[in-house]
A and B are shown apart, each in its own frame.
Chain A
């Protein structure tokens, strides 16, 4: 932390922020000067400082989603200078102001997707991702006492790959970054996570059919293998999960129609 008296490295920034009163409002970019920003602040703390001032000035504070501010919940996320979550590969809450320099003009916009309607300012409704999970992102297991951890053996490589995929926090940056507005990386992360584990096998076919069906019903686009999603993903979900999803889906369709 910088000492309280040390403001030598503080930055004067100009923000251009998307302001939109409600879902039906047109919205526009609005400029704000934010002086004396400490490089040790997080991006959201910088917005907090601006919001305090706006509140004192009887202005409407900028609405943005946030919760844990530890990079693990997936609530926060805005497009900063055209890049989802900004210049570091992390969540917006974990982005430090030291990634910017004095005098910068920073453009802040909400995730843009036909399936993510804007609620207000930088807040979008990501219920479409929840509905994809509801369509098949689960397993059916008997409840009761927890089974022994080693009751079902899982190969180490599979366990590791399943865990990597399971780290998806559903923030939606993949959709915001995808030129096609596809949520395939998100969907493929869950398909990979559950499809690699023995507990996920009974519903493996119906899961991929239902989740891809829901993905498309929500209006998301198709995957062109451009890779912008994985490049901005705070959890580094691999593009190879999408190849896995495609194989699972084509296989599930084959076995459905072979019956």
Chain B
């Protein structure tokens, strides 16, 4: 193979298409995590003991085949890697898009008309801002539930008490609602875009099906995550 072709191929490895494929795969990994996380949270409906057992089992996952917390850390590292690659690709593509669309001070066209485009969804407008909101939320969430550094509602002795004490406070509940809506919108466009970027959009009919699927999964994840906090706030669980 001539050297010039090799150079070109090396450039294509870093192309926008490959960055989008990385975003798609890492995004799907994170959606897989969200589905498992959401389903796990529903253990809170089974009661204090069952939920605490579930939380404890996350740490003993894979034992006795693997030492304590090894599988948990493997999953955490895989997730962290996904987050880093997802954010890196997003920032790289964001910078490119800014130059490519010839924006000056945030605006591209001088007209105030047609700002919403022809058919684009609200979710597609807010991907980048939603991403920032979700990143900030994840830090807050880890400090709250995983690390236990911040504990609204007072210190708690078990995961179950931490959940219930936290969500009995309206502003904690509200902060989670905002974050879950942001995640829902991000997934509504992100899931469709990931599927299409990886080649699943094979016809206009398939485009409609993929969009329906993306909306369904986004709604399931958002509602599934909001069920336990909402029931706790309104006194369904204590």
Contacts and interface: CB of A to CB of B under 8 A. Distances in A.
A91 interface: no
Contact of A221 (B13, B101, B115, B201): B101
Main secondary structure of the interface of B (DSSP, over half): helix
Name the residue among A179, A182, A250 with the largest chain B CB count within 10 angstroms: A179
Given A114-B99, A114-B100, A221-B96, A179 B120 contact: yes
Main secondary structure of the interface of A (DSSP, over half): mixed
A240 B110 contact: no
A79 B120 CA distance: 17
A178 B119 contact: no
Contacts of A219: 96, 99-100
B207 A113 contact: no
B101 A226 contact: no
A16 to B, nearest CB: 8
Contacts of B198: 243, 246-247
A213 B109 contact: no
Contacts of A90: none
B102 interface: yes
Contact of A107 (B11, B102, B110): B110
Contacts of A109: 109-111
Interface string B114-126: 1101111100100
Interface in B193-209: 193, 196-204, 206-207
B199 A224 contact: no
A93 interface: no
A105 to B, nearest CB: 9
14 contacts: A114-B101, A179-B97, A180-B93, A181-B101, A182-B97, A209-B12, A224-B93, A224-B189, A227-B119, A228-B120, A238-B204, A246-B17, A247-B198, A250-B199
